[in-house]
Amino acid sequence: MRKLQLILLYATGVFSQQCSEVLEPLGLKDAEALAAHGSHSLTLNMIQYFFNPKAAVDNGIPTVNLNRCEMHDLHENAPYSTMKNSFDNPAFFALDNILSNMDHEEYGIMNANTLDRIAHDLHMIHMWEGAALYYQALVTAPPKPDICSCFLSTYLEAIKANLEFIAKEIRIPNQLSAQNNKGVKKGGNERAHYLGEYLGIYLGRYIGVYTLESRTINEKRSGNETAIKKKGGADDHKLDLYSGNIVDEKSWAKWKEMMQDPDSQYMENMGRSLSLYLYCQLEK
């Protein structure tokens, strides 16, 4: 009976309206983009360390498959790393994972070197440390059930769309760049440009901006086709904020500049969106 009621609510649009009212007081901003960015490289090890020590293998948190030899872009569940001699400390765990795969040419962010990958993983640990505080607050004072049901019904599809796009930026950036630059004269350091597509969107000042695909989904949902044309064009998507790998002090300085928070509320928005997403999936 309850399931039938939910179907009727969806069909009439009542559920969507109610969820909008339920979620509005939370003040979430770009929740789907932030939740996807914050979760895309999680392992079950890190979920258990930062969020829920009892999280299971069947955890319901899809992540990007870093093994590019395999066909599937996403893991259905954040995988558990069984590497020998791995460290409990998150930073050393990340270092061990990267260095233990450094001879594997089809593993990790395509076109990124070892220093790039280390910097990326430390950046993600920084995100998880912040989100963990919000997660524990949810555990201490659990939200009403309708908050989780509304959050997931509102954002789950768009989170998955963001994850799928992140996976392609990590796994096949050259193909995406070729598609985006049809008819455009090529030149310069294309390897750096491919890497810059991923880093510029997800590690730079525009981390919280929707990807073109997810923004299209959300704008169509709201009927705002004009916004798609104004904000979702090719020029907006191809933000070239990076010009190479980390190879010296100058290139590292560019990374540090890029990884500054885009605004003073960024870490709070990231922490609240990511923690609520993980809580609603892990604690159900």
Mean pLDDT of 96-120: 92
- Within the chain, strands assigned E span 63-64, 74-75
194: pLDDT strictly greater than 50: no
* 175-185 confidence digits (pLDDT tens): 766 665 554 44
Q: What is the structure's pLDDT at 172?
A: 86
Q: Kindly indicate the confidence band of residue 24, based on its pLDDT and cuts at 50, 70 and 90.
A: very high
Instruction: Average the pLDDT over each of 36-50, 82-96, 185-199, 249-263 and give the range with the smallest value.
Output: 185-199
Burial class (CB within 10 angstroms; exposed 0-12, middle 13-18, buried 19+) of 156: middle
Higher pLDDT, 20 or 10: 20
Q: What is the three-class DSSP state of 107?
A: strand
72: pLDDT strictly greater than 50: yes
- Residue 257 vs residues 66, 202, 203, 267: alpha-carbon distances, Å: 26, 14, 10, 16
Q: What is the structure's pLDDT at 111?
A: 82
- C-alpha triplet 145, 49, 164: angle, nearest 5°: 65
CA–CA separation, 226 vs 84, rounded Å? 53
What the block records as the tokens of 99 is 């260095």
129: pLDDT strictly greater than 70: yes
Query: Other CB atoms closer than 10 Å to residue 126's CB: what's the count?
Result: 14
79: pLDDT strictly greater than 70: yes
- Within 111-219, strands assigned E span none
Q: Kindly indicate the confidence band of residue 105, based on its pLDDT and cuts at 50, 70 and 90.
A: very high
Closest CA to 254 of 262, 245, 266, 263: 245
Q: What is the structure's pLDDT at 233?
A: 36
108: pLDDT strictly greater than 50: yes
Higher pLDDT, 13 or 149: 149
Q: What is the structure's pLDDT at 16?
A: 63
Q: What is the structure's pLDDT at 85?
A: 66
Query: In this structure, are residues 47 and 78 in contact, taking their beta carbons and an 8 Å threshold?
Result: yes
Query: In this structure, are residues 74 and 63 in contact, taking their beta carbons and an 8 Å threshold?
Result: yes
* 212-247 confidence digits (pLDDT tens): 343 444 444 444 443 333 333 333 333 333 447 888
195: pLDDT strictly greater than 80: no
Q: What is the structure's pLDDT at 190?
A: 43
